[in-house]
Amino acid sequence: MISKNLLLALFIAFTVPVFAQEPDMSLIPFRKGDLWGYASPDKNIIITPAYDEADLFYEGFAVVKKGGKYGYINKEGKVVIPIKFYAAKRFRVGFYGSDTKPNPKDKAPAVQKTVLFAGAAPAANGYEICIDTKGAQLTKCPAISENSIPETNKPDSVVIVSNYSTIKKSI
């Protein structure tokens, strides 16, 4: 029994960092003139600059701004959630409670469901809703782990190199 609990504790300890959701750095926002697009780390343009703002990719989606509103694109540059929101946040993994109650005879905890979601404001009042990967409003917003809000992933400055710029992080 002790070995099962120890094994479970070790499993949880090693899987928690997985939920810290790091950005996907295979495509990096860059600016050409007043517009933003995406380039590979070796500076090849992958998504032509067409946006007023461009964020890093998280969970396969990036927030972009065009014409004063926000939407989401995939890594091929296709708009997958229309550019219609007044504010938008990155996608992240959240948790819903279990639909089933744990059996008192079974010592295993109830299993939580995970969901991929983002916060977005469909109106100018700034009130945010939770949306799924299709842009539909979720009936309730999932809980998130405190470890999934890394302050160190925010860009510190923009470095301008000839006609484009990239994000530079301070160490």
pTM: 0.69
C-alpha of 123 from chain center: 21
∠ Cα 142 146 149 (to 5°): 90
Would you state the pLDDT for residue 18?
46
Which pLDDT band holds residue 16 (cuts at 50, 70, 90)?
Answer: very low
Paired residues of 57 in beta bridges: 24, 62
User: In this prediction, what percent of the chain has a pLDDT beyond 70?
Assistant: 63
pLDDT digits (tens, 9 = 90+) for 33-44: 999 999 999 999
Stretch 64-77: mean pLDDT? 97
- The pLDDT value recorded for residue 163 is 54
Task: Give yes or no for a contact between 37 and 28, defined as CB atoms under 8 angstroms apart.
Answer: no
The DSSP H or E segment spanning 147 is none
pLDDT at 60: 95
The model's pLDDT over 99-158, given as tens digits with 9 standing for 90+, comes to: 555 566 666 666 667 889 999 999 999 899 999 999 999 998 888 766 655 554 445 555
Averaged pLDDT for residues 8-15:
45
What is the predicted pLDDT for the residue at 52?
97
- Domain boundaries along the sequence of the chain: 22-168
- Least Cα distance to 72 among 16, 13, 35, 119 occurs for 119
Are the C-beta atoms of residues 170 and 156 closer than 8 Å to each other? yes
Please give the pLDDT value at position 10: 44
